[in-house]
């Protein structure tokens, strides 16, 4: 499966992760399903999420209100969510699904993880062999990975594409 990330979605996720740094961010992914995967057009961060350094929890009443609104948008679908992982002391943020993340991933949903660590050097954004994207933004090394809920209940790794980000050095 391929996940195509628009300029707006990339920007929204990275800004949410930077803004909440030292705590996790959370948001919804809006877009369209295609024959090869999904196109993520928007990443909408949750303002009312409960945040911690090692977890984030959405506000369920707010989520239900948002779902009702989104059902009336015929050109956009709720296709999943994103959240960030942040460095905690000596523990590096990892770009992978936790056990809780895997448990909450529903069939056909997409989950993007944004890992934020202090940068060691400037690195242009690139596509990685594992299907993720990575590069530097300000003083951070950022890695974004994509997963989808598989038919067998196990998450599958998706290939993340974002032509907007690849090749840039963000200072």
Tell me what pLDDT residue 168 has.
67
Q: What pLDDT sits at residue 104? A: 82
pLDDT at 171: 65
Q: What is the pLDDT of residue 170?
A: 65
Q: What is the DSSP string of 62-130?
A: HHHHHHHHHTT-SS-EEEEEEEEEE-BTTB---SS--HHHHHH--TT-EEEEEEEEE-SS----EE-TT
* The pLDDT of residue 16 is above 70: yes
Q: Which two tokens stand for residue 145?
A: 């990975």
Q: Tens of pLDDT along 115-144?
A: 999 999 999 999 999 999 999 999 999 999
pLDDT at 8: 97
* Tokens linked to 82: 């994103």
Q: Say yes or no to pLDDT of 89 above 90.
A: no
User: Burial code of 80-105, b = ≥16 C-beta within 10 A, e = fewer?
Assistant: bbbbbbbbeeeeebebbbeeebeeeb
Q: Which two tokens stand for residue 150?
A: 């598989």
pLDDT tier for residue 108 given thresholds of 50, 70 and 90 = confident
Q: How far is CA 29 from the centre of its chain?
A: 8
Query: What pLDDT, on the 0 to 100 scale, is given for residue 31?
Result: 96
Give the pLDDT confidence of 147-170 residue by residue, as tens digits: 999 877 789 999 999 999 997 666
Burial group, residue 19, by CB count within 10 angstroms (0-12, 13-18, 19+)? exposed
pLDDT tens digits for range 24-76: 999 999 999 999 899 999 999 998 888 888 888 888 888 889 888 988 888 89
> Which stretch of 35-44, 77-86, 97-106 has the lowest confidence by average pLDDT?
97-106
Return the CATH architecture of domain 2-161: 3-Layer(aba) Sandwich (3.40)
Q: Where are the domains of the chain?
A: 2-161
């Amino acid at each position: 499966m391929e996940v195509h990330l628009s300029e707006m979605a990339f920007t929204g996720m990275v800004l949410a992760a930077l803004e909440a740094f030292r705590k996790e961010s959370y948001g919804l992914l809006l877009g369209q399903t295609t024959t090869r995967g999904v196109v993520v057009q928007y990443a909408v961060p949750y303002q009312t999420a409960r945040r911690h350094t090692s977890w984030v929890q959405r506000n369920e009443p707010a989520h239900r209100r948002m779902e009702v609104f989104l059902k009336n948008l015929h050109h956009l679908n709720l296709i999943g969510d994103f959240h960030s992982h942040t460095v905690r002391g000596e523990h590096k943020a990892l770009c992978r699904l936790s056990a809780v993340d895997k448990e909450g991933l529903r069939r056909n949903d997409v989950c993007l993880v944004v890992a934020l660590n202090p940068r060691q050097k400037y690195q242009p954004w690139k596509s990685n062999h594992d299907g993720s994207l990575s590069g530097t933004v300000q003083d951070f090394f950022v890695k974004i990975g994509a997963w989808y809920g598989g038919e067998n209940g196990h998450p599958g790794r998706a290939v993340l594409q974002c032509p907007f980000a690849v090749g840039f050095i963000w200072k």
